[in-house]
Structure 1
């Protein structure tokens, strides 16, 4: 019998409850005399930022090593090409279902109608989506897929430059290197031996970081509550409710139905996927959650070589929350707010953009890029994106949770269809604390 406090899922749940309590306490204390964060809020923010930084630090080597090793391993499988094709097909199928649900809710609810006179705070979007940007983003700018960004502090005017990995470009590099090892053949074996050895080391580091999830979860959800509270939902409550309704239908209705259609019980899926879904909710980052997502997918019984290929790909291109449900409802909101009628052709265009263009969000902030891509394709006012930025952090929590769940779901379904799912492991209990 498993002792509850030693169960990883239980520890994560305790972390969320503790974070909720600490966040409410920090918010009740209020800001300091100069408007700065109080000590509790600062501590929560710092601990949460450190945890996310640790996760992001492990992502780049994990993606590169796992993709290269998995492509080398997949060459031994007769159905490697079929696995890749099935993965992309199910990305599209689930995205299409999600966007149809988003469109249906938006058409029925019409969340933007009647709000044109409301004093909704408007922020200027700092990033925009475009088809050319997506195509150029596929081509690595350098061998390490590094990109630099400079921010100027509004209060001090001090400019800070930071480096980060463009995960989509890193994915392209990793796939190219993996294919090159197959082309080279036996001469690539020393390199592959190094890759596999290094991957084992990175997985050990990953296990240590994942052990910190309950603490990181407490800090992240505490920061969200302390920073945003629930007041931001007031003016855009209808839109927020519509988005979360769509997310709930997909997460609790569509995904279980797809599992049942493939002869899989939903409860074991959610029991095992819960740590990754929860981490996605509090971290608001599919890429930052990637290490945990891959871990729970393997514990789901999915073949490790396939999981190492599918999850990094899914974490950058498979976003039912950000790229399907949200832009569909948001586009209808913007059209209703500005009094612009939409027809069947417009709805079909939204569905097309959601299914084909979701990879345009890879490596960029939240769902703003996908929303601006949708608005520009439809010819809707780009200022409409600014209407929704005030509540975007609250929406992004639910969107990312659904993104992560969908990523694990597709890998599980494809593994089941291709006979590489360990159904005994799938039906077993929830995973214990990672070793």
Structure 2
């Protein structure tokens, strides 16, 4: 079977060719799309719908599981708050970088595309954002009814990601406070998370088919210029990721009196595997191992901070990416953003990072950011067309951040094993190269590499 990466490249080429063909076929009847455009649209939207269907249960179970990990940590409250604070600080730095790059590089400025017919105009508001945090029901679902020209009515169900997040946090904290009686519930939640992740993996294996539909529909609808705009968008994303990985993180490490070289050499095995596997959750065993064995973070704390980071610490997916994406979509459809909109992007990205759940970061954050700002949700399908190309770099930055914060918090609390952090590695991935450690790492890598189709 062809590897997943080449499958995506083939799908991109096939989608581009089919989209150009559909564009040249023109329209039929009263401006209706031709059969090929309709087929590509159906394939693309169906794939996005499948991904969205997994979002609500995935967010709920992942966030509850992350909070439940606090049971295993001594001084849990203090370390948890410091960890979350540094998650937020680094996320805010990353989102500011994303906003600046979006404004300066203007990746979607030359598209001149018309907003979709269903777009009502206007942008988001602070009041709408704040009131939107209050759950209307347990699942954060809303219903909307539309009337077609024929007079037929249709009702669609939507979800508010931040409401789901609020509900999950409340349930997780309540389960933590209840204690032992909540153990069966948390065990069931952990099992549900594993099942949902498996189903999601099956959906993501369909990514090549979804890519054909998404890129084909984009080219057929918006023309050849779409490819140039998406290319500039990809460049902006990777510039932002490089700044965070090679500038921001090293500065934070140095500011805490730690060696930048030791951090890079210690965390690099996990960063490298994340780039290949495209899965923060899949890389988790190796990330936790390098955080403990190379960076000297105590196991009791690392076993909380790293898994929590694998589901919420997403500087690539939940900070840089949604910031540039929102600005790109606004520029692509010729919609002006004001200063308030940029502040909303920053706030939603920092808060929404906890809703990425380690897997569907692109879908969740695109939907969350665009809906909060009142931008066309058609941008979700447009940007998902090239998502696999961006996912490698985003995941590498995610995992790098998941090693930085535990090291910083451990250092600030006097918990970091400095001799282990500064130990000479002599080219070996671990300072402790015993057969036991080597075997555990090999098992982790072998278990992770086949999951290259997984998203963050």
Q: Normalising by structure 2, what TM-score?
A: 0.58
Aligned CA-pair RMSD = 4.3
Q: SS of the residue aligned with 1:287?
A: helix
Deviation larger for 289-298 or 406-415 = 289-298
Aligned residue in 1 for 2:288: 294
Pair 395,309 (structure 1): closer, same or farther in 2 beyond 3 Å: same
**1:99 matches 2:95:** yes
Q: SS of the residue aligned with 2:386?
A: helix
CA distance in 2, matches of 1:349, 1:64: 26
Q: Do 2:63 and 2:354's aligned partners in 1 also have CA atoms closer than 8 Å? A: no
Instruction: Give the alignment of 1:21-420 within 5 angstroms.
Output: 71-74=71-74, 79-116=75-112, 136=138, 236-299=230-293, 300-362=295-357, 365-420=360-415
Q: How many residues align?
A: 310
Q: Do 1:115 and 1:337's aligned partners in 2 also have CA atoms closer than 8 Å? A: yes
Pair 233,420 (structure 1): closer, same or farther in 2 beyond 3 Å: farther
Note the alpha carbon deviations across 1:165-189, whole angstroms, 9 max, x for none.
x9999998887666555899xxx9x
Note the alpha carbon deviations across 1:76-123, whole angstroms, 9 max, x for none.
xxx4321111111101100000000000100000100112359xxxxx
Pair 271,345 (structure 1): closer, same or farther in 2 beyond 3 Å: same
CA distance in 2, matches of 1:417, 1:66: 23
Q: Normalising by structure 1, what TM-score?
A: 0.60
**1:427 matches 2:405:** no
Deviation (angstroms), 1:239: 0.7
Q: Do 1:63 and 1:174's aligned partners in 2 also have CA atoms closer than 8 Å? A: yes
CA distance in 2, matches of 1:285, 1:178: 28
Pair 396,133 (structure 1): closer, same or farther in 2 beyond 3 Å: farther
Q: Do 2:234 and 2:390's aligned partners in 1 also have CA atoms closer than 8 Å? A: yes
Q: SS of the residue aligned with 1:252?
A: helix
Q: SS of the residue aligned with 2:93?
A: helix
Q: SS of the residue aligned with 1:362?
A: coil
Q: SS of the residue aligned with 1:236?
A: helix
Q: Do 2:113 and 2:333's aligned partners in 1 also have CA atoms closer than 8 Å? A: no
Note the alpha carbon deviations across 1:3-59, whole angstroms, 9 max, x for none.
xxxxxxxxxxxxxxxx99x969x97xx99xxxxxxxxxxxxxxxxxxxxxxxxxxxx
Q: Do 1:72 and 1:182's aligned partners in 2 also have CA atoms closer than 8 Å? A: no
Q: Do 2:63 and 2:357's aligned partners in 1 also have CA atoms closer than 8 Å? A: no
CA distance in 2, matches of 1:389, 1:67: 30
